[in-house]
Each structure stands twice: as C-alpha cells, then as structure tokens.
Chains A and B, each alone.
Chain A
Amino acid sequence: MSPARIVVRAVVVSDGRSPHLFAAVDAVLSQDPAPDEVHLALTAPVDPPPGGWDSRLRVEQVDARDLGGAVDAVLADSPGEPAELLWILHDDMAPLPGALAALTATARKRRLAGVVGAAHVQWDAPDRLVSLGTTTTRVGARRIALVEEDDVDQGQYAERDDVLAVSLGGSLVRRELWETLGGLDTAGEGWSSSLDFSRRAWRAGYDVVAVPAARIRHSQERLHARRGGSGGGRRATYSVRRASEWYHALVFCPWWAVPFVALWALLGSLARAVLRVAQNEPQLLLADLLVPWRVIGLLPRVPGARLRVHRAGRATDAERRLLAGPRDVARHVRALEWGTRSRVQAAEQPSDVVRAELATAARRRRLTLVAVAIALTAFSIALHPTWLAALAQGQMLTGATLGITDVSLGELWDRALTGWSSQAFGAPALDPGLSLLLVPLAAIPGGLAAWLGAVLLVAPLLAGLTAWAAAGAFTRSLPVRALAAGAYAVGPIALESSAQGRVAAVIVHVVAPLAVLGLARAGAWHRGEALPDGAEHPAVRRPSRSAAMGAAAALAVVVIAAPVLLAPAVVVVLVAGGFAGRARWRVWGAAIAPIVVSGAALAATLAAPSSALAIGVREPGPSATAPSLSAAELLLGGIGETGAVPEPMVWVLRTLPIALLAAAAIAAVMGRRRWVSLGALAVAAASLVIAVQVQGVTLSPDLGAGAPAAAGWYGAAMSAVALGLLVTVCAAWTPGAVAWPVAARRAASALAIAVVGIGVLGSAAAQAWPGRTALGDVQPQGRDVLPLVATLEQETALSQRVLVLDQASQAITFSVLSEDGTEVVPTAGTLSSSGVPLARGEGAAAVPGPADLGETVAALAAGGDVSLDPLAAWGIGVVVAAPGAEALADVLSQHPDLALMGSAERGTSWRVGGAEGDARVSRARFVSPQGDQPVAMGRTAGELDAPEAGTLVIAEAADERWAATLDGAELDAVEDAFGRQAFEVPAAGHVIASYDDREYRVWFWAGLVTLGWVLVAAIPVRSRRVTREERLP
C-alpha cells in the first residue's frame, strides 16, 4: 500500500491575472525537497518571464474555467500512481521554504490523510496568519476560519492537526481521493469548494489535516477582487461568497431541510439588509439583497452536488465533531466584532492623562445632564399639575383645538394607509399627516391618549434634552449647554403650543434640535471635548454617516409636522453640504428623506401650481385661530396676559427673550465661527419671516367647507428661530474666543451665565406659577365622549355617523362624527380654505361637509317638523344632544321621526331611521324599486350582492377615484342630489365598490420606507468592513 517514496505532483494554476505568478513558481521550484513534477496550468495565455520558463516546469495551456477544471485537465494528461500527492497551488500563493517538506512529512505520517493543508500567511507579512483550517456550522451556512484574521503566528496553533477543512490551495491531496471524489464542486465560483471537498474527503474515509509548520504566503487576489481589476476589496466578493455558503448548506443539509434552509437564506439576507442599512453600507446592502437571487441561481446545481456528497459516503462522527457548535459561532462572531472595536479603540486611544480628563468631563457632563433633566421634569409637571395623575388614571388630554386624542392604533394606521380622509364627508387625502408619526405612540400599551398626553406633558423636558444635545455640538461648556437647554425648553411660544394642543408644533420643537445636531456631526463641524491644554478630543472630528441619516430622519419628521419648513430645511442642507468638503454627499443626502416624505405634496403642487401656498403652509393635526403678532412681538416671546404672577417674575419672564437676543448679537459679533453664525442667523431670519407670514394664511377647514378654518401658527417656525439664536450663542462660546485677560474673561462669562441663568429660572417659575393665565385649553378628560349607544352604532358594519348638537349662547353648534369625538390629530389639512381637496387641484369642486346640513339641523333644533332624509342620506343614524343642552333635548324629543335611544351623562341620543332591518340608516345603501337595503361598508370599500337593478349610494363625497364593478364590469357613476358617490347597477350581480388610492399609497410607502431607512441608518453601528483608510481623516 505505502510506496517507499512519496511522489509529489505540484500543479500551479494561473489565469495570468496575478502579479505574483513568477514569485509563486519560483517558490515552488525552490522547495527542498522539490516536487517531482511541477505543472504550470495556464487557463489564459501568459507571457513567459524574460528568461523563459524554468526547464523544470511543464507549462500547459489548459481549457478550464477554474482551479478544479485546470487540475482535472493536468491529471488527464499526466497519468500517475493513485498514491501520488497533488500539490495544488494558485498563482497568488508562494510556499515558504520548508513548506513542502512539512507537508510531505505529515502525509507520510498520516496514512489516512487525504488532504494535508498548509498554514496561509499574509503575502507581505508572513508572521500574520490568514488561514489554518476552516470549519462550518451544523447547518453549514457560515464558514468559520479557525484563526483570527491578522493573528500573529506565535506557534499558538502548532498542535493543530485534524480539521474539518483546509484551503485546497497549497494542500497536498492524494490523487486517488481526487479521482474518487470527482474533483471539485466549483459552483458559487468555487468559494466553498475547499470546504465541500474536505467534507467529502471525511465522508469518503480520509482525514483532513492542517500542518501549521507548512506556511504559504497568500495574497488573496480573488478575495479582494483584484483579479479582473475591479479592486473593490472584500465587499465586492461578499455577495458571491455569502451565496456559496448557503449553497454549501443546501448541499449538506438533510433532504427535508432544503426548503427551510432556502427560506432561512431569504430571511437571513433581509435581516442582514437591515443591518447594512444601519451600518450605512449601501454596497453590502445590495450584496445582501442579491444573495437570495444568487442562491436561486445555484439551485439547479444542488441535486448533482448532493448526489456527489451522497456518493462520497455517510457523515462520520469525526466530521460532526469538527463542525462548529453554537458556542464556537458565538466566539467567532465576538472575536470578529470585538476585534474590530478594539482595533478602532487602539487607533484612537488617547494618553492616560487625556483619558482621565475625559472621564472627569464625562462625569461632570452626566451630573449636569441629570440635574437639567430633573429640573425640566419638575417644571413640566408643575406647568400642568393635573395632567400626570389624570393620564395615569387613563384619561386623555383634550381641548377645543386638540380634539380627542384617544385614537386607536388600527384607526390611526388605517388613516395613514388609506388615501381617503374622513374630513368633511370624506375627501381625498393628500398625505398621512401626523398619523404616521403617531402610530408608534399608539402602538405602546396605553395607547395614543396616554402617550401623546405624555409627550405634551413632558414636551419641555424632551425639548430641553434635544437642545442640550444640539448645543453640545457647538460648545462643551456645561453651563452654556444647560442654559441653552433651559432657555429652549421654557420658550413661551413652545409652552403655548403644548398647552393649546398644537401637536405638530410640539413635535417640531422637540425634534428640530436633533436635525441641527445631526447636520453638525455629519459635516464634522461639531466640537470635541475641551482639554485643559486648550486642545480638543478627538483632535480631528470625522464626518459621520449615521449622523447625516439622523439629520435626515429628524428633518423628515419636522417636515411632516410642519410642511412650511420644507424649503428652508432643504436650503440649509444644500448650503451646509457645500461647505462639507468630502462629506458633501452624505450631508446632501440628508435632504432626500424630507423631500420624499413631502413627495405627495410636491406632486400635488406641480399638478396645481395655484394651490402651492395652500399646500405649502398646510398644518397637519390640530390648528386654531390666534391673534396675529408682529415679528418683534414674536421675538419677544409673544407673552400676553400673565395673570396673578408676582411682578418681578413677570419682569424676568419678559426680559429673557431680550437677554437671549442680546446674547445672540454679542455672540455673533465676538464669535470666531463666522460662517456658522451667519448660517444660524440667516436661518433665524428666514424662519422669522415665515413665522410672521403664515399667520395671514387661512388653513384647511378640518370639518369641511363652511366649518371654521384656522390661521397659520407660528410655533414651528419660531422653534427654528430659537434654534438659530442658540446655535449662534453656543458656537461663539469657545475658550479663548476673545483676547481678554483670563480674570476679565471669567468674570464676563460668569456674569453672562448668571444673567441668563436667572432669566431661565425666573421664566420657568413665572410660567409654572399657580396664578398664571392658562396658555391653552387642553385639559384631561375621560376618554368616552359620545353616549355609548351612539358609539356602538358607529362601530357596526353600517358605520353610522352621529350628529351631535350643542347649545352655544344664541346659536347651536353641531358636528357630524364618525368617531367618538372630533378627531383632528390624524387629519392632514387636506382641503383648501374653500373646501376643495388639495389633491385634486383648484379646479375641483368643494367637497360636501357637515355645513351642508346647516339648514336641516337649524330647523330641527328650532322644533320644525323637518324631514330627516338629508341626515339619513349622509349615514347619520344617531342624533345626540350634548349634556347640558336640555332645551335642545326637549325640542328633539318632540320630533316625530326621532326615536329616543337613551339619556345618559354624555348626552341624550335619538335614532334616525329604523331600529332594525332594511330601514336602518347606513353608510352605504342599495336603492332599488323593490326597496332600500343597507350595505356594509369599510373605510373605503364595500361589496354586496345586488338582487336586481338599482343604485348603490355611498354616503361619502363623490370623487373621480371611486370605482365599482358588477361581476367584474365597470359601473358608471351617477349624479347624486346630495353630492354622494353613487353607481348605477344595471342588473343583479356581485357589486364591489372601492376607492382607488394607489397613487397615495405609492407616496405613503415611499415616505414610510425612507423614514424607516434613515431611522435605521441613524443607528451608529460601525461596519467592520470599513477599511483603515476610510477611518482615517
């Protein structure tokens, strides 16, 4: 069996694209003992070296596409003993002296060793290991190298022998094994062929042995995609390698597990895609998304490969023992990730002295932050002392402007997803408005009522924290940061916004500082921690991709809440990007998200330029009229009546804005960062202009044409003004900004800090003073608004509307509700001031709304014997007299067609129409000569089996996008006297009616995906593939 002498046939395979071919050949030829035969198999023509090929080489031109094929071709032409050893080499591998000797020694010693692998070391640094054996998981979808990358070879692996697999490059393979197994499986570009061959060798009864002493320099040309010249590094080959891993798993798993592995491959790639988004690795994201497709492309080769594995033999315990268990995988991943982290840390490690300084600064910073947070929490609660307990008891915040806030998750999501708004009697929606932003709040246990209430309650705290973070980008002085946070948090206009329930303005106030922070870090304009010697740490700040994406997310949220800020936000980003040097593209990228979330509005503006103003300044969510203020009044905080607050506090309250303006002016003059302060002042000026001018705009009447319409609110733009001023002040606050003596500088700083500090504390005390005039009407209330009998009717399949009447001083007010109270939080300002849907352009007609019922309602309330048909026509099945409106209740009770349903604390209810059967009022009806029939209707779709010809009438405003089919055939819409959507049904059959909101959904999903993307991408996860060069400035 064992020949006296081992014959070694070296096969060097080259495609002529490695610069190391000649070095590799020389290294093989200079081995001692030398191989018995040395073949140079060329798969592409290669010019010989200047002196010609060495005579010991047998140069062969082979027709093969890969390593396996080339070796097969060589073997076909060179018969030999089955026991001879093939030394397979690639043209980027150069064995170090003694490698072959070590390999043959092992091959001689280990008779069963079918594959004897060498240790691969880096080409340029032979003391650094590249590979010394490989294993894989039990599933097989992850190749695991048995040495850590860049590990220094200190002999720590000298004892290694049996391994699951070795890299075939540089290995000795017994010829009989090669021929038994039929060569390599080179599917997936051969990335898993070594692993595949080694495992088949184990199954065929051979051993696979690694020889640490045999070292081969390996330049890994293919791994770094240097073959073929793309040079894209490891990222370029990632997708193929990953696909080959899955291919390997598919080949080696039990037959029944194939579909599961395939599914896992799909899900795994999606999960990794999310990770890539977080890592801001677009190339890898694409690569990961390509993986399932590549796996599908490899599927046809799976049966053949499985057959080869089957033929090789059954899995042995030896093979199983060598597979990596979950612990090994965990250790491997940890080593990879922590290794990267440690390397980064090691690269940035400052001196011990600096570290101690930083630790002290961090401790102080944390203490200050905690103090600021505690103070602002106390302030938030003191400002609205009744809110916290009420919210904890399950009440909701509500007010004339805010409406009800108890909107369920499903309803909110429905509103966000469908392009049909329930404003007026239904109207095409322009965009989801705030509903998209509020969905996460509604998803938390407790619901929107609790969490929106909590946001309104702790808005000063949240705004203070974000302002603290933003200020930190421009100054590291803790007192200045704390005061900036405090001044921003107690801004009187923002407090007014939350007290009045202007949700959008509150969102802008809280989120806008994050956009500033993100932009500052994205362009590396932020300051490092100040060290006592005047230096900063880190000495050089690097632009951050995650920060740019964070800015994008914050800007997108700001623009959703305040569309009027889109233009200034985009301009700011574009200008900032222009100054960002190499980081310009990532800064400019921050403009994409706000533009995409405004896509529907921009498209509507392009379609109807005359509505540009109405679309541009629309206010999603609650809006209300307010007295108009001049720019000077706004800059002074718009502080009106203060009520019973002690005079000194009022004085401080009114002085703080002046002090801040003065501080900004002084800072602008004295500061050194002129461009930053110019930008901040320009933003403040532009926002101030916007804040003043929006007050003159009439907004969408939330309840339809003829209902009250609000004026624009300056809150959001004034938040931007406040931010501009704070950035000006903070950016100027640098140690050594002025060339004064130290004592004078300190005294001036202390004075400035004391003045502003007293201003902030005094203002906070004045705002929270018990006798302070209420800034708004938001109050906690029970969550139920309408009588139970009425809400139950709303929730049936017939989705009746409810008419609520209330007695004002002389007139009566009324409202038509599809929900338990007026919901304005999810409305998106979808109508123009004249009630025309903005999504349809100015040429469209105003949508019908509750105001159209004014005469009927007035007559009903006056005791007239009016017909209730107009009410029933719009699906109003219940009339409710509000609590306290007893006179109204008396009148309604005398109407012959109203049937009393019940009288309760929340009002007295009467039924319109029949109590049961076909006489019931419903949102949709099928009208035919035989009689009416109610039709169950969802928010935007319904279906029925029409018994005969007739008319389907939907109690929603008529719109061109409503469509209906009868057994698949399009139905014609017909005019309806009330302006409802009606379809003529010419014969009996199955009728499906729905609203076509595809265009809306495209924009909705585009916005949602973009928002999700930038949110994930804003997570600061470092990719370990970021090269060292990229990490350096």
Chain B
Amino acid sequence: MRILLTVIGLAALLGAATLAAPEPGGQPGASVEASIDPVRQPVVCPGPLEVPVGAIVSGDEDLDSGSSDVTRETLPSGEALGDGTAVDATQAVTVERVASGDIAGLAGAACTAPARDQWLVGGSTALGSSARLVLSNPTGSAVRARIEIHGAVGLVEDDRSVLLGPGAQETLLLESVTPELPALAVHVVAQGVGVSAALQDSRLDGFTAAGTDWVSPSAPATELVIPVAGPSAEEAVATLSLLAPDGADATLTLLGEEGPLPWLGDERLALEPGVLTDLQVPVVGLAAVRIEASDPVVAGALVRVARDAAVLEGAVALDQAWTGGQDAADARARAAVVPDGDVTLVVASAAAGTFTVDAGGHTLTVDVAEDGVASLPLDLEPGTVLTSSAPFAWALVLADPEAGFVTTIEPVSTELEATVLEAAVAPYSPAP
C-alpha cells in the first residue's frame, strides 16, 4: 500500500518533466538613436602641386624638374589653410597648370569638405612615381586621421595616423611608407567632423613627365559609374582600379557614346577583400565604366593624354586625369565649379535619359543613351556653379589640347548628411 506514496512521488516528477520551455524572460536594453546635423565646414583645396624629391635645377627649362610657368587658380577664392585654401562655400575648384618639368600638366580637383570616411583610389609609389597625401583640417578642434594603404596584395599599411591641429594641413609621402606599390588606394578615417583629403599622383618615366593629377575622394557603393574612363589609346592607356573592402563579385560595363561597348577580356571579376585590382581599359574614345557588385566597391579610372616629350626625341610624355566612381543611385544635390579653360561636361548613365544641370540660373541638358556616355562642351564664365541632383554620373573634363594636358573635376555633394548613432546602456567590465 505504501508503494502508492512512491507512485505519487514519481508521478509528480514525471508530470513536472513534461513542462515545456516558457517564453524566455528578460529584455534587451533600450537603445537610443541620436541624429546629429553636422555644422557646415569650409571646403578645402589641397594647395600647390609639389615636385617629388630629387628636383633638378639646371637652368634649362626643359631639363629642370620644376617649372617657372605655373599658374594656379582657385574658384571662388578663400583663406589660406596651410599651403592650401579653405573656401567658405559648398563647392570650389582648384586647377593648376604646370607648363614644363617633371609634373607638367593640368591638375584640377574639386575642393572637398571634411569627411569621416573616404577612399582615394589612385596613385603609385613605384620607382619614378610619387603619391603625396594631403590632409587638411578646417575645423576648430584637433582630429586624428587614420590611414590604411591598400595595394595589389591587399592591405599593406594599417597603423599610420596623423594628428591634425585646428586649421592645420599635413602631407604624407606614401612612398616613404610603402614603396614599390605600382597602384594603391588610401582609406582615410577620421572621427568627429573628419578631414579633407586629396592625393597628388605624379609619375615620371626617366626624364619624361608621365602625368600628374589630384585624386579626389570617393565612397564605396554597389553600383558605380566612372564618367571619364576614356579615351584610351595604345600609347596612352586608360586604366581602371577597383577595390572591395569586404570582397565582392563585380561586373564591368564599358559605356560608349552609342551604348555599351565590348570589354576585352572577362567582364566579371571576383574582388578579394582589400585587394586593389588594376585593369586596362580597351582602346576606345570617349567612354565611361559602370561597375555592378555584390558588395560595396570603390573605383577610379585614370585617363592619359600623350604628347611629344620635350627632351628626348621620339619619346612620349603623358598627362593624366583621375576620376573616381560615383554612386549610380546617388540622387543628392551635387555641384561643381567651372574652371577657366576648355571645359567639357561628360555625363554617363546606365539608363537612357536627359541629364539636366543648373548652370548659374541657366539649365543645360544632355541626352544620354542607355548604358551610354555623352559630352557637352561648355562655354560658361569661369566660376559658374553647375548643380544637379539627377542620378547621373558626371564630371568636367578640362583639357589643353595644344599642350597635351588634361584633368577632370568631379562634382561634390552639397548636402549635409546627418550622423546617426545608437547608444545603449551596458555593464562595463574590463576587456580581456
């Protein structure tokens, strides 16, 4: 009879054992989101080009590495910031023309506002080349910029930082950090308001100038269009540089005036994380490149213009222009200032359409074919501001055909982006 007790006990335990797991209790901490509208900061133009180390002064204008015929113009004008210029406007342009010497050519750049995270795709530290990074801090407080350098083998330098005092400009010769990189991309990260960054890419082929230009910052996106990726010729090959920070599968399309052009070789690329990939653009006239990728990619295209070398008979000197990839879906208002000279507006797009741009009150329109590129020579007063918020990739090409010089000016965003950050309470114990 007393076994009944045991049966009751076992039954109770068995009954309890059938209980299912309840909905777990607990609640995560509430996280608060803050959206900070940044204060408008001046745009910064990087300042004069510099002749890389090893300057030769012979007295002969053609042999000297420097030049006596240098003109530099910044529109609109601003205040000095280091060697550069801080312009209290949403956009500005700087163009420098060096008539002779190692860095002969046209080098133009849109002046940029400070940013936290920017990629400069372009430059080389191979023998004869110099990559000079110019960082400017137009704000009233100090900022530390961290620099990562990527090359064809991936990340090669990630432990470099530059502290910029208020209103300071610092330059860093990347060949002193990572020499012998035939192509590179620089990732500049700074906190707070950020820094303005530009890279002077100067190349020399023996005694012959092989091109100089400013590399302007660009941002990663999954669909990019580089409006100026041509012309490309046998003696002046255009190249394309791509980098996916986290790796990506990319598809390339070459955009011609009439529509897509065949790409010699494989259009599909598997990009390793952090590895810079360099491609030659097939021989082509006016062209743009569209990149579609599974993950964000940064890209830039280098076009060259050949001329006869001043010193060596039969040799070819080059000038070059870097153009960064623009987010094809970018519908923000962007603007560029028309510099003095022979300026052409180049527009590229995946979809056919009409690109409209406001030019100091006038509206200009450019028709673009599907997967095409179109150009419009401009005859506007220098300093005219072109503004558009259409999702087209566009740039200004400034050429000096007589001298064989070329440069491009990319539009900059004129909208201020709010910084959004989440904060949540969490216990704090020491990190392992």
**A663-700 Cβ-contact flags toward B at 8 Å (1 or 0):** 00100110100110111111011101100111111110
The minimal Cβ–Cβ distance linking A859 to chain B, given in whole angstroms, is: 4
In the complex, are the beta carbons of B31 and A811 less than 8 A apart?
yes
In the complex, are the beta carbons of B429 and A863 less than 8 A apart?
no
In the complex, are the beta carbons of B2 and A635 less than 8 A apart?
no
Give the residues from 392 to 432 in chain B that come closer than 8 angstroms, CB to CB, to chain A: 419-432
CB-CB < 8 A to A696: which residues of B?
22-25
Q: Is A781 an interface residue (CB 8 A)?
A: yes
Q: Is B53 an interface residue (CB 8 A)?
A: no
In the complex, are the beta carbons of A812 and B422 less than 8 A apart?
yes
Assembly CA distance A688 to B9 (angstroms): 13
CB-CB < 8 A to A893: which residues of B?
141-142, 144, 192
The stretch that binds A, out of B33-41, B205-213, B263-271, is B33-41
Q: Is A639 an interface residue (CB 8 A)?
A: no
Q: Given A625-B24, A894-B143, A688–B34 Cβ distance below 8 Å?
A: no
In the complex, are the beta carbons of A678 and B9 less than 8 A apart?
yes
User: Within the complex, which residue of A630, A698, A806, A864 is in contact with B428, where a contact is CB–CB below 8 Å?
Assistant: A806
Assembly CA distance A890 to B145 (angstroms): 9
The minimal Cβ–Cβ distance linking B305 to chain A, given in whole angstroms, is: 41
Assembly CA distance A861 to B12 (angstroms): 56
The stretch that binds A, out of B13-21, B279-287, B338-346, B361-369, is B13-21
CB-CB < 8 A to A685: which residues of B?
9, 12-13, 15-16
Q: Is B312 an interface residue (CB 8 A)?
A: no
In the complex, are the beta carbons of B26 and A710 less than 8 A apart?
yes
Interface residue SS majority, chain A: mixed
In the complex, are the beta carbons of A810 and B422 less than 8 A apart?
yes
In the complex, are the beta carbons of A631 and B18 less than 8 A apart?
yes
**B178-190 Cβ-contact flags toward A at 8 Å (1 or 0):** 0000000000011
Assembly CA distance A857 to B426 (angstroms): 13
Q: Given A631-B16, A678-B6, A811-B423, A894–B193 Cβ distance below 8 Å?
A: yes
Which of A627, A681, A711, A785 has most B Cβ within 10 Å?
A: A681
Which of B3, B13, B27 has most A Cβ within 10 Å?
A: B13
Q: Is B177 an interface residue (CB 8 A)?
A: no
Q: Given A685-B15, A685-B16, A697-B25, A824–B427 Cβ distance below 8 Å?
A: yes
Q: Is B29 an interface residue (CB 8 A)?
A: yes
Assembly CA distance A703 to B24 (angstroms): 20
Give the residues from 744 to 799 in chain A that come closer than 8 angstroms, CB to CB, to chain B: 779, 781-782, 784-785
**A702-718 Cβ-contact flags toward B at 8 Å (1 or 0):** 11101111111000000
User: Within the complex, which residue of B10, B17, B420, B428 is in contact with A632, where a contact is CB–CB below 8 Å?
Assistant: B17
Q: Is B191 an interface residue (CB 8 A)?
A: yes
Q: Is A888 an interface residue (CB 8 A)?
A: yes
Q: With CB as the reference atom, state the residue of chain A lying closest to B420.
A: A862
Q: Is A804 an interface residue (CB 8 A)?
A: yes
Give the residues from 22 to 63 in chain B that come closer than 8 angstroms, CB to CB, to chain A: 22-36, 38-39
In the complex, are the beta carbons of B430 and A781 less than 8 A apart?
yes
Q: Is A865 an interface residue (CB 8 A)?
A: yes
Q: Is A416 an interface residue (CB 8 A)?
A: no
The minimal Cβ–Cβ distance linking B430 to chain A, given in whole angstroms, is: 5
User: Within the complex, which residue of B26, B143, B421 is in contact with A699, where a contact is CB–CB below 8 Å?
Assistant: B26
The stretch that binds B, out of A331-339, A367-375, A396-404, A916-924, is A396-404
Q: Is A817 an interface residue (CB 8 A)?
A: yes
**A904-946 Cβ-contact flags toward B at 8 Å (1 or 0):** 0010000000000000000000000000000000000000000
Assembly CA distance A815 to B27 (angstroms): 17
User: Within the complex, which residue of A682, A708, A808 is in contact with B12, where a contact is CB–CB below 8 Å?
Assistant: A682
Q: With CB as the reference atom, state the residue of chain A lying closest to B35.
A: A862
Q: Is A563 an interface residue (CB 8 A)?
A: no
In the complex, are the beta carbons of A688 and B16 less than 8 A apart?
yes
In the complex, are the beta carbons of B15 and A862 less than 8 A apart?
no
User: Within the complex, which residue of B13, B140, B422 is in contact with A811, where a contact is CB–CB below 8 Å?
Assistant: B422
Assembly CA distance A822 to B18 (angstroms): 39
Q: With CB as the reference atom, state the residue of chain B lying closest to A633.
A: B21
Q: With CB as the reference atom, state the residue of chain A lying closest to B24.
A: A628
In the complex, are the beta carbons of A692 and B423 less than 8 A apart?
no
Q: Given A674-B2, A696-B25, A821-B430, A850–B13 Cβ distance below 8 Å?
A: no
Assembly CA distance A855 to B32 (angstroms): 6
User: Within the complex, which residue of B26, B192, B430, B431 is in contact with A863, where a contact is CB–CB below 8 Å?
Assistant: B192
Q: Given A632-B17, A707-B425, A824-B427, A625–B26 Cβ distance below 8 Å?
A: yes
Assembly CA distance A812 to B420 (angstroms): 11
CB-CB < 8 A to B190: which residues of A?
890
Give the residues from 376 to 435 in chain A that come closer than 8 angstroms, CB to CB, to chain B: 398-400, 402-404
Q: Given A630-B21, A813-B426, A817-B428, A706–B30 Cβ distance below 8 Å?
A: yes
User: Within the complex, which residue of B34, B141, B431 is in contact with A894, where a contact is CB–CB below 8 Å?
Assistant: B141
CB-CB < 8 A to A862: which residues of B?
34-36, 419-421
CB-CB < 8 A to A781: which residues of B?
429-430, 432
In the complex, are the beta carbons of B24 and A854 less than 8 A apart?
no
Assembly CA distance A895 to B422 (angstroms): 18
In the complex, are the beta carbons of B22 and A814 less than 8 A apart?
no
In the complex, are the beta carbons of B429 and A857 less than 8 A apart?
no
Interface size class of A (residues with CB under 8 A): 35 or more
In the complex, are the beta carbons of A806 and B426 less than 8 A apart?
yes
Assembly CA distance A864 to B428 (angstroms): 24
Q: Is A833 an interface residue (CB 8 A)?
A: yes
Q: With CB as the reference atom, state the residue of chain A lying closest to B8.
A: A678
In the complex, are the beta carbons of A712 and B8 less than 8 A apart?
no
Assembly CA distance A696 to B34 (angstroms): 32
The minimal Cβ–Cβ distance linking A722 to chain B, given in whole angstroms, is: 13
CB-CB < 8 A to B33: which residues of A?
858
In the complex, are the beta carbons of A849 and B13 less than 8 A apart?
no
Q: Is B139 an interface residue (CB 8 A)?
A: yes
In the complex, are the beta carbons of A813 and B421 less than 8 A apart?
no
In the complex, are the beta carbons of B36 and A864 less than 8 A apart?
yes
CB-CB < 8 A to B35: which residues of A?
862
Q: With CB as the reference atom, state the residue of chain A lying closest to B17.
A: A631
Q: Is A528 an interface residue (CB 8 A)?
A: no
In the complex, are the beta carbons of A858 and B32 less than 8 A apart?
yes
Assembly CA distance A822 to B29 (angstroms): 15
CB-CB < 8 A to B141: which residues of A?
893-896
**B100-134 Cβ-contact flags toward A at 8 Å (1 or 0):** 00000000000000000000000000000000000
CB-CB < 8 A to A680: which residues of B?
9
**A857-896 Cβ-contact flags toward B at 8 Å (1 or 0):** 1110111110000000000000000111011111101111
In the complex, are the beta carbons of B431 and A669 less than 8 A apart?
no
Q: Is A626 an interface residue (CB 8 A)?
A: yes
Q: Given A629-B21, A674-B3, A804–B26 Cβ distance below 8 Å?
A: no
The minimal Cβ–Cβ distance linking B41 to chain A, given in whole angstroms, is: 12
Assembly CA distance A506 to B13 (angstroms): 24
Assembly CA distance A852 to B24 (angstroms): 26
Q: Is A851 an interface residue (CB 8 A)?
A: yes
Q: With CB as the reference atom, state the residue of chain A lying closest to B36.
A: A864
**A812-855 Cβ-contact flags toward B at 8 Å (1 or 0):** 11110100011010000000010000000000000001110011
In the complex, are the beta carbons of A706 and B425 less than 8 A apart?
yes
User: Within the complex, which residue of B25, B139, B143 is in contact with A711, where a contact is CB–CB below 8 Å?
Assistant: B25
CB-CB < 8 A to A895: which residues of B?
141
In the complex, are the beta carbons of A858 and B431 less than 8 A apart?
no
In the complex, are the beta carbons of B29 and A674 less than 8 A apart?
no
Cβ contacts A to B, 23 pairs, < 8 Å: A628-B22, A631-B16, A668-B9, A679-B9, A681-B10, A685-B15, A685-B16, A695-B25, A698-B25, A708-B29, A708-B426, A785-B430, A808-B424, A808-B426, A813-B423, A813-B425, A814-B426, A821-B428, A854-B31, A857-B423, A890-B192, A894-B193, A896-B141
- In the complex, given contacts A806-B428, A862-B35, what are 5 additional A-B residue pairs having Cβ atoms less than 8 angstroms apart? A628-B22, A813-B426, A815-B427, A821-B428, A850-B425
Of all A-B residue pairs in the complex, the 6 with the closest CB atoms, nearest first, are: A854-B32, A681-B9, A858-B34, A890-B191, A696-B22, A811-B422
